[in-house]
Amino acid sequence: MVEQAKLSDPNAEYTMRDLSAETMDITNPRGGVRDAEITDVQTTMVDGNYPWILVRVYTDAGVVGTGEAYWGGGDTAIIERMKPFLVGENPLDIDRLYEHLVQKMSGEGSVSGKVISAISGIEIALHDVAGKLLDVPAYQLVGGKYRDEVRVYCDLHTEDEANPQACAEEGVRVVEELGYDAIKFDLDVPSGHEKDRANRHLRNPEIDHKVEIVEAVTEAVGDRADVAFDCHWSFTGGSAKRLASELEDYDVWWLEDPVPPENHDVQKLVTQSTTTPIAVGENVYRKFGQRTLLEPQAVDIIAPDLPRVGGMRETRKIADLADMYYIPVAMHNVSSPIGTMASAQVAAAIPNSLALEYHSYQLGWWEDLVEEDDLIQNGRMEIPEKPGLGLTLDLDAVGEHMVEGETLFDEE
């Protein structure tokens, strides 16, 4: 097996912007646990409804922090690759270490993608460590509290997602039985009218089918819940405009990702063509990428995914930029309890938080991964006052649900 931590990279070795403590000559004693040093970084992948990547940062103070990188392959190797850049560093210097990793990994692609999601997982774990060392909740590290609990919207699915009535029935069930007052359905589902799905064009019968889903769900739940609809970057600009226009008569909370994420000029044209609110952002990285959506007001709602976009501080910076344009933040989230709580901690600390996604309502053991209970109640996630993220991993549960071939990280 390749030892990722030992790979050579002249860019990382000779970068003119090395931000390590040694290069920056950061030597003043801070006192007590504030002089802690990172001793190790480990990962374990859990086989949830997505392959969740849990990250742990270990310190010589005996304090361990847990984070989560965005799901999927590749991140664990990148995190192992970055370990030498972290060992010996003070975990309290979160912002510097984030920039340090971005600079060290610039030759391997730290503008976006897997490198940034890997850094995000480490950054979340650093917030957990820092909160524990300083005996404060993570929200305190990103600005303090606007709210005690965060509104959560539930991403819903049925066995027949193209059936308007099935969607309506599931929406009503979740609102009445689980207590959510905000839900979301996928709208990029087969209608039976497609001729060539590769060209992204929506024929009129396809649009009619999507309108039927929206009409059925919104009328069934009424004013008991806000309802959003996700398109997963599926349609042409013209088709997205036509679809959004047809939905203007319905109570749509937002239409999410109607066009591919690369061309923000097209995104702006779609958003400004309709009164249907448009939400975008999960597939755009760092504050620099989100800026090109926010400054031209190409979105009505920004939807960054915290374990993907750059972590907790980066998401806070994105929220601040959005607030300059009076744009609310509805964080995308498909994470385990760790990434979900990290997102909730930031949502509690920003003024313009609209809601946070929850994507695992059909997974019976989601909450088993941590020792705490009742994380989401009646569509709200209460922010714990315990240090760090306020969660304790249940390592037995993590070990039980690891992906095949994975090994469990150390307890301490």
Q: Given this model, what pLDDT does residue 309 score? A: 97
Domains of the chain, each with CATH number or no CATH: 2-135+394-399 (3.30.390.10), 147-385 (3.20.20.120)
Q: Is the pLDDT of residue 264 over 80?
A: yes
Higher-confidence position of 8 and 344: 344
pLDDT in tens, 133-186: 999 999 999 999 999 999 999 999 999 999 999 999 999 999 999 999 999 999
Angle at 334 between CA 401 and CA 146, to 5 degrees: 120
Q: Where are the alpha helices (DSSP H) in 295-336?
A: 306-309, 312-324
Contact call for residues 68 and 54 (beta carbons, < 8 A): yes
Tokens 């959005």 label which residue?
Answer: 322
Q: What is the pTM of this model?
A: 0.96
Strand partners, 228: 184, 254
Tokens 């991993």 label which residue?
Answer: 393
Q: Given this model, what pLDDT does residue 212 score? A: 98
Q: Is the pLDDT of residue 389 over 90?
A: yes
Distances (CA, A) of 23 to 16, 20, 93, 148, 329: 10, 5, 14, 41, 37
Phi-psi region of 32 (alpha: psi -120 to 50; beta: other; left: phi over 0): left
Contact call for residues 79 and 31 (beta carbons, < 8 A): no
Strands of the sheet with 38-47, listed across from one edge: 38-47, 51-59, 64-69
Q: Is the pLDDT of residue 15 over 80?
A: no
Burial of 319 (0-12, 13-18, 19+ CB in 10 A): buried
pLDDT in tens, 321-358: 999 999 999 999 999 999 999 999 999 999 999 999 99
pLDDT in tens, 44-101: 999 999 999 999 999 999 999 999 999 998 899 999 999 999 999 999 999 999 999 9
Q: Given this model, what pLDDT does residue 6 score? A: 74
The full length of the chain comes to 412
Beta strands in 99-240 (DSSP E): 149-155, 182-186, 226-230
Contact call for residues 52 and 36 (beta carbons, < 8 A): no
Instruction: Give me the amino acid identity at 6.
Output: K
Instruction: State how far the Cα of 107 lies from the Cα of 46, in Å rounded to an integer.
Output: 29
> What does pLDDT average to over the chain?
95
Among residues 353, 346, 344, 351, which one has the least CA distance to residue 313? 346
For 81, the 3-state DSSP assignment is: helix
pLDDT band at 12 (very low <50, low <70, confident <90, very high): low
DSSP string, 156-171: ---SSTT-HHHHHHHH
For 54, the enclosing helix (H) or strand (E) is: strand 51-59
User: What average pLDDT score do residues 7-24 get?
Assistant: 78
Beta strands in 220-309 (DSSP E): 226-230, 254-256, 278-280, 301-302
Phi and psi dihedrals of 133, rounded to 5? Answer: -65, -40
Phi and psi dihedrals of 37, rounded to 5? Answer: -130, 145
